[in-house]
Amino acid sequence: MARGTARPVVRLRSTAGTGVTYVTRKNRLNDPDRLVLRKYDAVAGAHVLFREER
């Protein structure tokens, strides 16, 4: 069964400038804007904001 377009795969990039990324899915109907999550950056050694890149 094919996956739909309502929940696409997005890449989250660290705002600390370390180049660390996470890959996740988001619901386009609930979050039409760019996704911003606070996650752990192993290079920075702290929790920072990760923004969706397009």
pLDDT tens figures, 2-51: 788 889 999 999 999 999 999 999 999 999 999 999 999 999 999 999 99
Q: Are 28 and 49 in contact (CB under 8 A)?
A: no
Closest CA to 51 of 30, 26, 6, 43: 26
Instruction: Identify the band that residue 54 occupies on the pLDDT scale cut at 50, 70 and 90.
Output: confident
